Amino acid sequence: MKKIPMTTPLVEMDGDEMTRILWKLIKDELITPFVELKTEYYDLGLEHRNETDDRVTVESAEATKKYGVAVKCATITPNADRMTEYNLKEMWKSPNGTIRAILDGTVFRKPIVVDCIPPYIPTWKKPITIARHAYGDVYKASEMRVKKGSKAELIVTAPDGIETRKLIHDFSGDGVIQGMHNTDRSIESFARACFEFALDTGEDLWFASKDTISKTYDHRFKDIFAELYEKEYKSRFEEKGITYFYTLIDDAVARVVRSEGGFIWACKNYDGDVMSDMLATAFGSLAMMTSVLVSPEGAYEYEAAHGTVQRHYYKHLRGERTSSNSVATIFAWTGALRKRGELDNIPALVTFADKLEQACINTIRQGRMTGDLASLCTLETKNILSSEEFISAVRENLEILLNA
């Protein structure tokens, strides 16, 4: 069989530990035998980040801006333990944080649904994608403890020096206060990313906040979404046959639980943090959750939502058998290859991505899976495969689909 050609390189961001092992296996077994793979390679493994004073992370994000599509392996975010383990010069920042800051993106997380791994919510038939605003609010807040008898006020000094004050609270006992912010620019780029993503996937978009209580702050989010929708997206949504829907966050939570799934749920930063963990768990496994960062300029960075699976890596290093789930990492590759195929008009690449995803699902349906899924799966006969055996089984199914 002739290999599928590519025109523009993918930005490839390699990573750490068990996912780095899976990364190589995926490329060698599932991609390069079938695709004339073109990538611009950036090694974001912690050792190389340390050697380059983390410049490699910045360069990989800049390359993503240039080429438009990246695929990323999970990476270690250093903490005190990692400083000694890797003898680091500095406690380098989270690569995902650095990349997000450069691309100014929104993160979309979507579970991979297989019928023999039923979600905990029986009505959910289709995946629910969470879009989390990744800037501001409580994540960039100033907080203080306040003594009894204190008066707390919000003070804003305008460029002309004029002060506006608003009472927060007169404290008759000890307490706490918090000041947080967001910017119209960030909210608008979040809204734009959500509208674009909905058009791209052909799914309805929901957005929810607490504007009845937060009549200025949350209301600003609601207004920016509504204005942008009316001005730029309404007719495109109608053409595509999808809807934009705003509701209160509490109503959204109730509706999500009763829904069939199959839509995008845009959340403010904190709601998205909490709700994405709820959704990942309710859909089954963190190892079956994909993640894509979309910038307002339309650059895409695909990855798995889970980490480097450190515990499995240490087993691997001791020469023990591991059963690490590579599905979300495979789907990061298929997401990136499909997007490259769409942008460069290479239908064979798009079809290949579809078939590789189908091969993963077929493999699990045949009862061949990694340990994390076995406990969730409803099939009678289940075969727990090692990390390597699972990828070989996917390859078997992929070859069947490619030769059909």
Look at the block and give the residue holding tokens 């959204």. 252
* CB closer to ligand NAP, 127 vs 284: 284
Secondary structure letter of residue 111 according to DSSP? E
Give the C-alpha separation, 326 to 135, whole Å.
30
Residue 131 or 249 with smaller CB distance to ligand NAP: 131
Instruction: Based on the shown chain and the rule CB under 5 A, indicate whether residue 270 belongs to the binding site for Mg ion.
Output: no
- Contact set for Mg ion, span 202-261 (CB under 5 A): none
291, 283 in Cβ contact below 8 A? Answer: no
Distance of alpha carbon 4 from alpha carbon 337, whole angstroms = 11
Give residues in contact with ligand NAP (CB under 6 A). Answer: 74-77, 96, 286-287, 303, 306-311, 324-325, 370, 372
* Choice between 62 and 277, CB closer to Mg ion: 277
| 389 interacts with Mg ion by CB under 5 A | no
Which of Mg ion, ligand NAP, none is residue 175 near (CB under 5 to 8 Å by kind)?
A: none
Token representation of residue 353: 């991505």
Q: Measure the CA–CA gap between 221 and 227, rounded to whole angstroms.
A: 10
Alpha carbons 152 and 154: distance in angstroms, whole number: 7
Nearer to ligand NAP, 309 or 360 (CB): 309
Distance of alpha carbon 259 from alpha carbon 252, whole angstroms: 10
Q: What is the DSSP string of 183-240?
A: -HHHHHHHHHHHHHHHHHHT-EEEEEE-TTTSTTHHHHHHHHHHHHIIIIIHHHHHHH
Q: Tell me the residue type at 292.
A: V
Residue 81 C-beta: closest distance to ligand NAP, Å: 9
The closest of 398, 402, 248, 387 to 321, measured between CA atoms, is 387
CB of 204 to ligand NAP, least distance (A): 27
Q: Decide whether 104 or 303 has the Cβ nearer to ligand NAP.
A: 303
C-alpha distances in angstroms, 218 versus 139, 207, 212, 249, 270? 16, 11, 8, 11, 12
Closest distance of CB 52 from ligand NAP, Å? 18
Q: Which does 75 bind (CB under 5 to 8 A by kind): ligand NAP, Mg ion, none?
A: ligand NAP
- In this chain, which stretch among 13-21, 270-278, 317-325, 389-397 interacts with Mg ion, using CB under 5 A? 270-278
Of the pair 192, 306, the CB lying nearest ligand NAP is at 306
Q: Which entry of Mg ion, ligand NAP, none binds 21, CB below 5 to 8 A by partner kind? A: none
Nearer to Mg ion, 94 or 383 (CB): 94
Choices 4-12, 96-104, 203-211, 276-284; region in contact with Mg ion by CB under 5 A? 276-284
Both structure tokens of 385 = 């495969």
DSSP state of 349: H
**Which of ligand NAP, Mg ion, none binds 372 (CB below 5-8 Å, type-dependent)?**
ligand NAP
Binding-site member from 40, 59, 273, 344 for Mg ion (CB under 5 A): 273
Pairing relationship of beta strands 289-294 and 263-267 according to DSSP bridges: unpaired
Q: Could you tell which of Mg ion, ligand NAP, none binds residue 287, using a CB distance below 5 to 8 A set by kind? A: ligand NAP
In the complex, the smallest distance separating the C-beta of residue 276 from ligand NAP, rounded to whole angstroms, is: 12
Angle, CA of 221, 69 and 262, to the nearest 5°: 50
Q: Which does 200 bind (CB under 5 to 8 A by kind): ligand NAP, Mg ion, none?
A: none
Which positions touch Mg ion (CB under 5 A)?
273, 277
